[in-house]
Amino acid sequence: MQGGAGVPVITLENIRKQYGTFVAVDGANLSIGQGEFFAMLGPSGCGKTTTLKMIAGFEQPTEGRILLEGVDVSTVPPYKRNVNTVFQQYALFPHMTVFDNVAFGPRSKKLDSSTIKSRVMEMLEVVRLADFAQRRPAQLSGGQQQRVALARALVNYPSALLLDEPLAALDLKLREAMQLELKRIQREVGITFVFVTHDQGEALTMSDRIAVMNEGHIEMVGTPEEIYDRPSSVFVASFIGSANLLPGVVESVSGASVTVRLSCGAVVDSSGTDFAAGESVTVMIRPERITPGGESIAGRSISGEVTDLVFQGPSVRLIARLADGTEVGAVVGSHTNLTIPRPGDSVSMSWDAKGSYVLKGHPEMAGSTTSNLDHVEANL
C-alpha cells in the first residue's frame, strides 16, 4: 500500500504549527499514497487534529510545506483545495434537505443540474440513503447523518477525504457497524481516506497505515501489525493495546537478538535493532503472548506471585507481581488446558520466540500525561 503508484496524494514536509509559544505540531513529515486508508492516532492534544486542519486548509503551517498530488498548497484556502472533510459533529446544513446538502459541493462548482442530480443520487446509493434524499438532517439518526456527511464530501471526488474523529459521536454498536461501512465505502470509491482518532482499536481495525502522534511529534508510521508488534518507542507500545513494559539492562547483543537482564532478576532473550551492551532498555511483552502456569522456558520466562484474576467474559486476565514489584498482566483464554493459578500462587510465565520486543529507554517514558503537565507548567 505504501506510496502506491506515482506521486503521493498528500505530502507533509517539516510541518510546524505554533500558537503563540505553544507548539502544536513539530517537524511532521508524512507521505500518504493513492487509495490508502490512513489513520492519525494519538492522545488528545497530540496535534493530530491540527495536522488534519492544515491539510484541509483551515489552519496554515508556521513552517514547512503541504503538497497535494505534488503541488504546494500550503497557502491555498480550503475552498480551492481538492480535499473534503467529514467533521466530527458532521456539520450538516440543518436548513437543507439531504439532497441539497450533498449537492452543495457540485453546485459551488457550478456543474449543470442534470450532472449534479445524477452524481448526488449515485453517491446517496453508495451510502444507502437514496430513499432519504428529501429528508432533513434532523429527521435522521446519528449513523444516517454520518453517512450524509460522507456522501456530501465524496460527491466532489476529492483527492483525499479527511475525517475528524468520524465515529466519536456514535454509540458503541453503531460505531462498530460504521467502521466496516467506512471500509466498504472506501474500497468502493477508491479515494484516499485520512482519519484522525484517539481510539487505537479503531485505528488498528480500519487502517492500512497508522501515524502515531504524541506531543506534536509523529512517533511512528507503519502498518497496524508493525505498530502493534514492533513499536518504535515506549510511548507507542503503551498507547497501542496493553503492554507489559519491563525495565532492564542489555547484557549482550548478537545480530538482531538482544539479551536483557530485567530488574526482577530474570535474563531474557529478545529482539530489537541498534542496541549496545549496558544500555537501559524496556522489554515489551503483550499480555496475550504470555502463557501463565506452564513449564518455564530458558530465556523466555519470568516468575512472580499471582495477585489478581479478573473475569472478562471470553478470557481471564491474570495479574502477577514480579520480584522487583513490577506488575505483569497475562490473558488466559477459555480454551487453555492449563489450570488457572489462584491469587497467592507463584506462577511461571513464558512466551513464544516472537512474543517480546526490546525498546529504547525506561518504561516511565510512557507516562506522557505527567510530562505533558510539566510542559504546560513550564510554559506558565
Angle ∠(307,311,316) on CA atoms, nearest 5: 75
Distance, CA of 112 to chain centre:
40
Among 68, 140, 148, 153, binds another protein (CB under 8 A): 153
Q: What is the closest distance, in whole angstroms, from the C-beta atom of residue 91 to another protein in the complex?
A: 4
Q: What is the closest distance, in whole angstroms, from the C-beta atom of residue 92 to another protein in the complex?
A: 8
Phi/psi at 204 (5° precision): -65, -40
Among 37, 38, 99, 104, binds another protein (CB under 8 A): 104
169 binds another protein (CB under 8 A): no
Q: What is the closest distance, in whole angstroms, from the C-beta atom of residue 153 to another protein in the complex?
A: 8
105 binds another protein (CB under 8 A): yes
94 binds another protein (CB under 8 A): yes
Among 14, 113, 139, 273, binds another protein (CB under 8 A): 139
Q: What is the closest distance, in whole angstroms, from the C-beta atom of residue 162 to another protein in the complex?
A: 9
Q: Which is nearer to another protein, 76 or 121 (CB)?
A: 76
Q: Cell numbers at residue 265, please?
A: 532478576
For 53, 72, 166, the CA distances from 104, given in Å and listed in that order, are 21, 26, 20
Phi/psi at 121 (5° precision): -65, -35
Q: What is the closest distance, in whole angstroms, from the C-beta atom of residue 109 to another protein in the complex?
A: 6
Kindly identify the residues of this chain, within the stretch 108-127, that bind another protein according to CB under 8 A.
108-109
Q: Beta partners for 260?
A: 250, 268
85 binds another protein (CB under 8 A): yes
Residue 2 CB coordination number (10 Å)? 13
3-state SS class at 375: helix
56 binds another protein (CB under 8 A): yes
Q: What is the closest distance, in whole angstroms, from the C-beta atom of residue 133 to another protein in the complex?
A: 16
Angle ∠(340,345,346) on CA atoms, nearest 5: 105
3-state SS class at 136: coil
Among 11, 145, 146, 156, binds another protein (CB under 8 A): 156
78 binds another protein (CB under 8 A): yes
Among 1, 58, 71, 115, binds another protein (CB under 8 A): 58
21 binds another protein (CB under 8 A): no
Q: What is the closest distance, in whole angstroms, from the C-beta atom of residue 170 to another protein in the complex?
A: 18
Closest CA to 350 of 280, 303, 316: 303
Residue type, 122: E
Size of the residue set binding another protein (CB under 8 A): 25
- The Cα 27–Cα 31 span in angstroms is 13
The radius of gyration of the chain's CA atoms, rounded to the nearest angstrom, is: 24
Category of 145 on φ-ψ map: left (φ > 0), alpha (ψ -120 to 50) or beta = alpha
Report helix angle 113-126 to 142-154, nearest 10: 130
Q: Which is nearer to another protein, 22 or 93 (CB)?
A: 93
Binding range to another protein, per CB under 8 A, among 4-12, 25-33, 134-142, 258-266: 134-142
91 binds another protein (CB under 8 A): yes
Q: What is the largest CA-CA distance in the chain?
A: 76
Q: Which is nearer to another protein, 78 or 241 (CB)?
A: 78
Question: Which residues contact another protein (rule: CB under 8 A)?
Answer: 56, 58, 77-80, 84-85, 87, 89, 91-95, 104-105, 108-109, 136, 138-139, 152-153, 156
